[in-house]
Amino acid sequence: MRKRHWERHLTGRIGWLRAAVLGANDGIVSTASLLLGVAAANASHPAVMVAGIAGLAAGAMSMAAGEYVSVHSQADSEKAELERERMEIKTDNEAEHKELAAIYVRRGLDHALAKKVAEQLMVHDALGAHARDELGITETMSARPIQAALASAASFAVGAAMPLVVAAFAPEERLIPFVSGTSLVFLAVLGALAARAGGAPVAPGTLRVTFWGALAMAVTAGVGALFGTAA
């Protein structure tokens, strides 16, 4: 029996996994830093929690807004490119045939076969062939602003919820070591996950994320302590 050749294409999944991990990473770093900054300013536990929850909401909304705007403008430019291509196919069909055949020659087909493939694909779905092979716009990769915004906000919120839960249950006098310690562990785990998902070496990826997370938390706690004594 012919052995089935399993080849899992992870490209699409890696893309959204990495985006989710980076979003969660942002959530952990910015919310943990906020909690530490407010706690270091000697604010009461309820005040720390209110700041953390407001930080989660603000962060998730700004991620969603930023993602929606950037992906939407990508969608707009894709739409404009497709419209331009549609006009070119309509007004200069012969040149578009040649252009498509040239793309296939560059990809390794001989001239005769490239010309034949281009002809058949232009008959079948001219715009689809040019969008995919000339502009690199495919159904799977096309911009989806709403999904991107929701995914971005959700991953941020999940990340932000981690230090928030720790802050909610940590003894008030030990909140800073609890939140900073657990947040570094969360960051290390996410860093390792992102590196593994991307096929990159795990250690450098983990160290990088943990170092910058620690730095962000230390700086914010320092600012909080400074303003706390000044208040």
- For residue 121, give both structure tokens: 């694909």
Region from 42-50, 91-99, 157-165, 176-184 binding Zn ion, contact rule CB under 5 A: 91-99
186 neighbors 28 (Cβ within 8 angstroms): yes
Q: Is position 134 an interface residue for Zn ion (rule: CB under 5 A)?
A: yes
Nearer to Zn ion, 78 or 134 (CB): 134
Single residue of 130, 133, 152, 195 touching Zn ion by CB under 5 A: 130
Residue nearest to Zn ion (CB): 130
Nearer to Zn ion, 115 or 130 (CB): 130
Nearer to Zn ion, 7 or 94 (CB): 94
23-52: which residues touch Zn ion (CB under 5 A)?
Answer: none
Query: C-alpha angle 145/153/33, rounded to 5°?
Result: 140
Nearer to Zn ion, 78 or 99 (CB): 99
Closest CB 117 distance from Zn ion, rounded Å: 15
Q: What is the DSSP string of 18-70?
A: HHHHHHHHHHHHHHHHHHHHHHHTT--HHHHHHHHHHHHHHHHHHHHHHHHHH
141-170: which residues touch Zn ion (CB under 5 A)?
Answer: none
CA distance 111 to 125: 21
Q: Is position 81 an interface residue for Zn ion (rule: CB under 5 A)?
A: no
34 neighbors 57 (Cβ within 8 angstroms): no
**Polymer length in residues for the chain:** 231
Residues that bind Zn ion (CB under 5 A): 96, 99, 130, 134
